[in-house]
Amino acid sequence: MTLPDTPPPYLRAAVTAAERAQIEAMLGPITDDVALHAVRDGRGGQFQRMEFLGDSVLDVVLVVHEWAEPECPTCVKREATAAASDVQLAAAARSAGLGAWLEWRASDERIADLVETCVAACWLSGRWAHAARFTAQVVHPVADETVRALTIGAVGLEPGRVGRRAGSALLELAAGDAVVHAFPDADEGELSTRRATIHRATAIAVIAKERGLGHRGDPDLVLSAVEDQVAAALAAGGADVALLVAQHFVPVRHR
């Protein structure tokens, strides 16, 4: 617990060695300094931006887990906006000891947001294997099959409904990652609005048609074809390869 005369984290420029050690004991090595500050803070703008990004990263990990490990008996899709899901996520996080470094007792909603911020910090520092390890530790059991699918692909995965959902999750992450980088001063609300302008069926369909995919189809059908293409890239080469494909369909237009 910080002493009363010590400024709160969002007013302190540096992360102390003790704070870093406490965070990394839970998350593993965090090499991205912005993410490290966001995880320590819990109240500032960077926390919101990392939570925005981590929500999409976590969705990718969970849906790829469902795709790669269809036999998982407890695999349930988490709905981020459902209060019950936030409560469950917060309970799991508290049981794991997440957020012990915070200087105040956070609400369930804030702890759920902290989970997503930590996922983003892990992803930025160690990509998919790191994010998957943290997810397995705090959120949901994730085995080697999921890590392999995320990192190198899994050619034997059948496309189907879950594969298309994986493609959809990667498209959303590509759009979110694009706006986070393009608008470094935007808060979570603005990022969500900007993501929505490029991550929608009509916008993606226009670009897809320019690239020769679905010349005459309606936007929803074209979007499904794009999701299938992204899912195929995931199965062939992993999530980073799939993200490169997805990025072609969600370019950011600066205004």
Over residues 95-110, mean pLDDT? 86
* Tens of pLDDT, residues 141-182: 899 999 999 999 998 888 788 889 999 999 999 999 999 999
Residues 228, 134 share a domain: no
pLDDT of residue 132: 96
Residues 124, 110 share a domain: yes
Q: What global pTM score does this model have?
A: 0.89
CA angle, 82 as apex, 185 and 202 as ends, to 5°?
Answer: 60
Q: Which of 94, 129, 151 is the C-terminal boundary of a domain? A: 151
Residues 161, 118 share a domain: no
Residues 114, 30 share a domain: yes
pLDDT of residue 44: 79
Residues 141, 182 share a domain: no
Q: Which of 151, 176, 208 is the C-terminal boundary of a domain? A: 151
Residues 93, 10 share a domain: yes
Residues of the chain with pLDDT > 90: what percent? 52
Q: CA-to-CA distance for 108 and 95, rounded, in angstroms? A: 12
**pLDDT at residue 216 is higher than 70:** no
Q: Among 70-74, 92-96, 175-179, 221-225, where is mean pLDDT lowest?
A: 70-74
- The total number of structural domains in the chain stands at 2
Residues 202, 145 share a domain: no
- For residue 19, count other CB atoms closer than 10 A to its CB: 18
* Tens of pLDDT, residues 19-75: 899 999 999 999 988 899 899 888 778 899 999 999 999 999 999 999 999 888 776
Task: Assign residue 108 the CATH number of its domain.
Answer: 1.10.1520.10
pLDDT of residue 241: 97
CA angle, 147 as apex, 114 and 151 as ends, to 5°?
Answer: 100
Residues 123, 17 share a domain: yes
Range of the domain at 118: 1-151
Residues 101, 27 share a domain: yes
pLDDT top residue among 57 and 79 = 57
- For residue 141, count other CB atoms closer than 10 A to its CB: 14
Q: CA-to-CA distance for 78 and 55, rounded, in angstroms? A: 10
Residues 165, 41 share a domain: no
Residues 195, 127 share a domain: no
pLDDT of residue 181: 93
Q: Which of 115, 134, 151 is the C-terminal boundary of a domain? A: 151
Residues 144, 158 share a domain: no
In the chain, which ranges are E strands? none
